[in-house]
Amino acid sequence: MKPLIAPSILAADFMNLESELGRIASADYVHVDVMDYHFVPNLTLGIPVFEQLTKVSPVPVDAHLMIEDPDRWAPAYAEAGAASVTFHVEAAKDPVRLARELRRLGARASVALKPGTPVEAHLGLLREVDMVLIMTVEPGFGGQSFMADMLPKIRRTRQAAREADLDIWIQVDGGISRATIDRTADAGANVFVAGSAVYGADDAAAEISTLRDLAAAHTH
Ligand SMILES: O=C(CO)[C@@H](O)[C@H](O)COP(=O)(O)O
Ligand SMILES: [Co+2]
């Protein structure tokens, strides 16, 4: 599987989002963290700003919804132009129904797990989703340290997908950098979110390319 790099705009300059999107035009996706002050102790943006982002983004938009009641709110992100919509399994009341609705609206459906949520929470959903997001930090903030104890969850998910013969994408999010991406690729991840690593670099395009090469060298 070809590694895909998705820089997170949480680490971008929010006063200049359009030019910040231009810096990552060589990425595969842009990762947009939506937080609601309830599911996580932070607040970012909602549909009106999200919709504008999808209009100007040079790359497809990957929505990471850290919100309560995704059953109610997530479909609007697909309608607003998200290529991929990730909701948290801890927050969803009916994840199967929601995933089906997202796919019906033309988005890739994706389910996320917080670090404390056991991997079994999504194994029964693998046929209903296109991607699984294994959080490698506690959701809510950028710039945190990578949690290496999440690696077995990635391995277990990849193994389950292989056994079921499913072409599932596995995304990792939190603390992904030159120092950590190799281990996640080796464990079976193929979509890599990187906020501070990419936006903190002087040359974001060069950093994207370095991360992609490192991941590719550890993909098997
Ligand atoms: O979802 C989140 C945080 O909750 C992430 O997408 C972060 O934005 C990643 O930032 P870095 O750890 O790469 O700085
Ligand atoms: Co995220």
Q: What is the pLDDT of residues 81-92, one digit of tens each?
A: 999 999 999 999
Atom of ligand 1 at shortest range from CA of 146: 12
Ligand 1 centroid–CA 145 distance in Å is 10
Where do the structural domains in the chain lie, given as residue ranges? 4-217
Ligand 1 centroid–CA 191 distance in Å is 13
Query: Across residues 156-181, what is the average pLDDT?
Result: 97
Instruction: Output the CA angle 184-189-192, nearest 5 degrees.
Output: 80
33 in active site: yes
pLDDT class of 196 with cuts at 50, 70, 90? very high
pLDDT score of 121? 87
pLDDT score of 53? 98
Residue 131, both tokens = 């991607």
Atom of ligand 1 at shortest range from CA of 200: 14
Catalytic-role residue among 36, 69, 173, 202: 173
Of 173, 177, 199, the one to substitute when testing ligand 1's pocket (max ligand atoms within 8 A of C-beta) is: 173
Architecture of domain 4-217 in CATH?
Alpha-Beta Barrel (3.20)
Per-residue pLDDT tens digits for 107-142: 999 999 999 999 998 999 999 999 999 999 999 999
DSSP single-letter state for residue 87? E
CB 192 within 8 A of CB 176: yes
Mean pLDDT of the chain: 98
Ligand 2 centroid–CA 160 distance in Å is 23
Catalytic-role residue among 33, 36, 62, 130: 33
